[in-house]
Amino acid sequence: MTNIINGLQTAQLLKTAISNEIKSLEHHHALRPGLAIVCIGENIASKIYVRTKRIQAKEVGINVQEYYFNQSIPEADLIEHIHSLNRDPQIHGIIVQLPLPSSLNMRRVVNCIEPSKDVDGLNVLNVGRLACGEHTIVPCTPLGCLLLLRRQCSMLSGLRVLVVGRSILVGKPMAALLLQQDCTVTIAHSKTVDLPQLCQTADIIIAAIGQPLFIKKNWIKPGAIVLDVGINRLEDGRIVGDVDFKLVSEVAGAITPVPGGVGPMTVACLLLNTILVTAQQNDVPLTYLPLSPLRDAWCPS
Ligand code: NAP
């Protein structure tokens, strides 16, 4: 029978551990993790995501500071603001909510975040460290996917994984992470030839393309694990993933729903990264969470 992977439940387990960790940090080290969220412009979806992050961060005890700027802000002014957050000892983690208005260069802006505070893991130094297999801050969505996979498979080594999508936010770091787990990784993208055939060879498929219901039932190897990262709004207002969930769940061994799959894990992993960087910057040990969730093969239980 197909296992519907409950991302909400796993995220809740993770958040409970994070909340306990924050109480311990406050009690033993008088430390309260601080997260700065920088928002530019009036993107409605971004506002919803930021609200979710704020609510959940406050729930676990993170001190959230939000900074809003008009979309006409000169890039130099935005960068100067990020530098002041880099210098602020009360701020341990910084995210710049994406996408940015077209007047701003995303790579230049993100690269101004001090790498040790870059809780989205998008600064080029952290991207490079992940590609080299070094200890680093891992982007939240791929980290969330890995934690979900660990709860499904005791052994990822040797499994054939197809990552569909090659963005810097999801596809590329996902592939790098799974390579570190000794999976055999293939990356597909919009120019890939014969995607259905590639899907049929995969033990695990991770779909991150932003195309509603794109991955079909007859592309899936029976028993495969399917993680659906996509978030797409249909004309009738429904939110669906990149995978045709209803039919694919008839053949997959395990599958994430949308909503309620990868999404909640992304937010929980942002909170996790904020705690990890707080501990690292202050050189204090953690009690409930490992400092490196990758190396320690840790998953919430
Ligand atoms: P993105 O930057 O637009 O990248 C999309 C990727 O998909 C690109 O690499 C593109 O290929 C590839 N692609 C597009 N159409 C394709 C097709 N027909 N066949 C094969 N590959 C195709 O998007 P993203 O930021 O990675 O996000 C992907 C989806 O995940 C979106 O729906 C987004 O909303 C969602 N998302 C969800 C979460 C979450 O927490 N659940 C987090 C982040 C993103 P090319 O490179 O060749 O153009």
Residue 297 pLDDT level (bands cut at 50, 70, 90):
low
Active-site position among 120, 228, 242, 244: 120
For 28-86, the pLDDT digits (tens) are 999 999 999 999 999 999 999 999 999 999 999 999 999 999 999 999 999 999 999 99
| Dihedral angle over CA of 7, 12, 14, 20, nearest 10 | 180
Q: How far is the CA of 19 from the centre of ligand 1 (A)?
A: 31
CA distances from 292 to 25, 148, 174, 286, 299 (A): 17, 16, 16, 10, 11
What's the pTM value of the predicted model, to 2 decimals?
Answer: 0.97
| Mean pLDDT of the chain, nearest integer | 96
Q: What pLDDT score was predicted for residue 295?
A: 61
Does ligand 1 lie within 6 Å of residue 263's CB atom? Answer: yes
Average pLDDT over residues 129-156: 95
Three-state SS for 98-142 is: CCCCCCCCHHHHHCCCCHHHECCCCCHHHHHHHHCCCCCCCCHHH
Nearest CA to ligand 1 atom 2: 167
Q: Give 167-186 pLDDT, tens digit per residue.
A: 999 999 999 999 999 999 99
120 is catalytic: yes
Question: 142 in ligand 1 pocket by Cβ < 6 Å?
Answer: no
With a 6 Å cutoff on the Cβ, whether 210 touches ligand 1 is yes
Name the percent of the chain lying above pLDDT 90: 94
- Tell which atom from ligand 1 comes closest to the C-alpha of 189: 21
Atom of ligand 1 nearest to the CA of 232: 32
pLDDT > 70: percent of the chain: 98
Residue nearest to atom 34 of ligand 1 (CA): 231
pLDDT tens profile 71-108:
999 999 999 999 999 999 999 999 999 999 999 999 99
Domains of the chain (ranges, CATH numbers): 31-114 (3.40.50.10860), 140-262 (3.40.50.720)
**What is the CA(228)–ligand 1 centre distance, in A?**
11
- The rounded Å distance from CA 127 to ligand 1 centre is 18
Distance 210 CA to ligand 1 centre (A): 5
DSSP annotation string for 147-194: HHHHHH-S--TT-EEEEE---TTTHHHHHHHHHHTT-EEEEE-TT-S-
Distance in angstroms (rounded) separating the CA atoms of residues 152 and 133: 23
